[in-house]
Amino acid sequence: MAKLVALSLGWGVQSFTLAAMDALRACECEVCQRWSLRDFPRLDAAIHADTTWEREATYTFAWAMSPWLRERNVALYTVSDAKQAARVVEQSDPPFFTLAPQGTGSPSAPAEPGNSNVFMPAYSLDESGRRLTARKRKGQLKRQCTGRWKIDPIRRMLRAMMRERKIKRVRGAVEQWLGISMDELERSKDSDVQYIYHRYPLLELGMSRADCKTWLRAHNLPIPPKSRCKFCPYQDRNSWRRQRAMGGQDWAVAVQVDAAIRDKRPPHPLFVHRGRLPLEQAVEIIPLVALPPEESDDEDFSEGAACDSGYCFM
């Protein structure tokens, strides 16, 4: 039996639903008769790995809903990749967020001057301007961002909690909940370390993303925006168009990061847009009202591993 139960909280629809279900596990309403966590252990922690590059809407949502969760005894923690090898942020009120300036505290920031590391799955061209097709990557860098910015910081936090509680790092010592829903079944996968056991409560309850929204609405809770980095290369055309139409910091930072990674892997130029063009050329200007709702956006996790078991876009 696991000694520590922790949720990876991305502040998207699925993971927020799990946090809220943990908060309201005593509820006996009609919807909770169908979907409830009453047969699951109580969470010891809900841990958000803050890339520092989340969209503004996600930070706003997290700030708004953190007190609601904490008032209902959900222990929230936010961790971040940082120069201090194990930056583990204690529970604080309000919870810690690395909001601004963008990328501070993140040595693996995608566009730091002098940092040639590009951890996001950026697209590239060969010397003659063609897509790179060698190494089966089809002109796209290997995705390392999820591991560096999300999985590693969460694991550092889990190990710190285990040390504090004198929990031995034995097989299955940690039960880690991930917010994968029925419509994303293929994204679930086992943990690659023995001491962590991945659990998918939404799959066990047979809940889809739409069911999560039904549950949230039934409890008068807001629906979170999709959670992802401002410059995530996995976005589809309409998602980019919407980001451009909305403008503000999300678009400005994406354009900035796109330009900053261009020459990080000479001689191959890098881009955040799959069209392999500078972002402002690649994304058409379409009025927001002419675009379909955000919910219909598609993310491309064609590498097969998704963003590692629900850490991104959840």
Q: How far is the CB of 291 from ligand SF4 (least distance, A)?
A: 20
Count, residues in the chain = 314
* Closer by beta carbon to ligand SF4, 41 or else 147: 147
Q: What does the per-residue mask of binding to ligand SF4 show for 19-58, with x meaning CB under 6 A?
A: --------------------------------x-------
Interaction between residue 229 and ligand SF4 (CB under 6 A) = yes
Answer yes or no: are the C-beta atoms of 212 and 314 closer than 8 Å.
no
Amino acid at 182: M
Give per-residue burial for 7-25: e unless 16+ CB within 10 Å, then b. Answer: bbbbbbbbbbbbbbbbbbb
Dihedral, 248, 64, 224, 107 alpha carbons, nearest 10: 60
- Give the span between the Cα atoms of 151 and 137, in whole angstroms: 23
Interaction between residue 307 and ligand SF4 (CB under 6 A) = yes
* Closer by beta carbon to ligand SF4, 98 or else 146: 146
Answer yes or no: are the C-beta atoms of 155 and 50 closer than 8 Å.
no
Please give the residues from 99 up to 158 whose contact with ligand SF4 meets the rule CB under 6 A: 120, 143, 145-146, 149
Q: Regarding beta strands 76-79 and 196-199, do their DSSP bridges make them parallel or antiparallel, or are they unpaired?
A: unpaired
Classify the C-alpha dihedral 101-8-193-173 as positive or negative.
positive
Candidate ranges 73-81, 176-184, 202-210, 225-233; the one touching ligand SF4 (CB under 6 A): 225-233
CA nearest neighbour of 37 among 225, 220, 177: 177
231: left (phi over 0), alpha (psi -120 to 50) or beta: alpha
- What's the longest Cα–Cα distance across the chain? 64
Classify the C-alpha dihedral 264-261-227-80 as positive or negative.
positive
Interaction between residue 228 and ligand SF4 (CB under 6 A) = yes
* Closer by beta carbon to ligand SF4, 81 or else 175: 81
# chain residues binding ligand SF4, by CB under 6 A: 12
* Closer by beta carbon to ligand SF4, 16 or else 40: 16
Q: How far is the CB of 301 from ligand SF4 (least distance, A)?
A: 8
* Closer by beta carbon to ligand SF4, 206 or else 275: 275
Pick one of 232, 254, 279, 306: the residue that binds ligand SF4 (CB under 6 A). Answer: 232
Q: How far is the CB of 157 from ligand SF4 (least distance, A)?
A: 17
Rg value, the chain, Cα = 20
* Closer by beta carbon to ligand SF4, 3 or else 265: 265
Q: How far is the CB of 166 from ligand SF4 (least distance, A)?
A: 32
Interaction between residue 312 and ligand SF4 (CB under 6 A) = yes
Answer yes or no: are the C-beta atoms of 133 and 268 closer than 8 Å.
no
* Closer by beta carbon to ligand SF4, 8 or else 146: 146
Residues that bind ligand SF4 (CB under 6 A): 51, 120, 143, 145-146, 149, 228-229, 232, 234, 307, 312
